[in-house]
Amino acid sequence: MQILGIDIGGSGIKGAPVDLESGRLLAERHRIATPQPATPTAVADVVRKITRHFGWSGPLGCAFPARIKHGKALTAANVDDSWLNTDVVALFAERTGCPTTVLNDADAAGLAEMTFGAGRGRTDLVLLLTFGTGIGSALFIERVLVPNTELGHIILHGKDAEPYAADRARKEEKLSWKRWARRVQEYLDRIEFLLSPDLIIIGGGVSKPKRAEKFMPYLHTQAELVTAQLRNEAGIVGAALHARSLLKTPAK
């Protein structure tokens, strides 16, 4: 069984058909730069181009950088403000002609890691944190996703934690990996105080091995702490997994 997964980000929109049994991409990812401004119409046009690139007409799963509830975008952090309250599912389904599901991008990455990656087989309290432009989160209790957590926005030192501890802060403030790790440690300390997870998975671009080795040794948690395994493919794979419910099952 396969489903087309599309991962919509602030800088790029990428997709590929996914084998739901193995989590493997069945074709090379096709990436198109995110239009600026990233309005609903402009982004939907790119989603349609990707479906046409693969000649796709079946179920479609999309990972989107917003809180998604009942198919609608409740936030618009890295896309245009016109997305607020937009029915994303209806828009993409109408534009592509494909039955569609949409979920938060960090939740999609979490689904992928829980199914095929670092969280596979875990039934305790697992938290995925993605460090990039912001801090995304996906929380699982007994393998069940708690959707739309925004744990990057917890209060740290009286302020929103995301601008302080995201990888964007490291780049913009030209922090060394060690100095940035101190900020991440403060953030993780707060997370552990609030949630006491059993496993914390660090995802996003910083989870690549050559980057992870520069800061992971400085982090110490009560929870088991590991890096994500699917990395750049996680959003695509998780989006496809989320759309599994759209597959037609044979009648008994």
CATH superfamily, with its number, for domain 2-107+234-246: ATPase, nucleotide binding domain (3.30.420.40)
Q: pLDDT, tens digit, for every residue of 100-158?
A: 999 999 999 999 999 999 999 999 999 999 999 899 999 999 999 999 999 999 999 99
Note the pLDDT of residue 100: 98
Q: pLDDT, tens digit, for every residue of 206-215?
A: 999 999 999 9
Q: Flag whether pLDDT at 163 surpasses 50.
A: yes
Hey, where are the domains in the chain? Answer: 2-107+234-246, 119-229
Asked whether the bond before 37 is cis by omega within 30 degrees of 0, the reply is yes
- Nearest of 192, 213, 224 to residue 118 by alpha carbon: 224
What is the maximum span of the chain, computed from C-alpha positions, in angstroms?
A: 60
CATH superfamily, with its number, for domain 119-229: ATPase, nucleotide binding domain (3.30.420.40)
Separation CA 221–CA 128 (nearest Å) = 14
Q: pLDDT, tens digit, for every residue of 86-110?
A: 999 999 999 999 999 999 999 999 9
Separation CA 187–CA 2 (nearest Å) = 38
What global pTM score does this model have?
A: 0.94
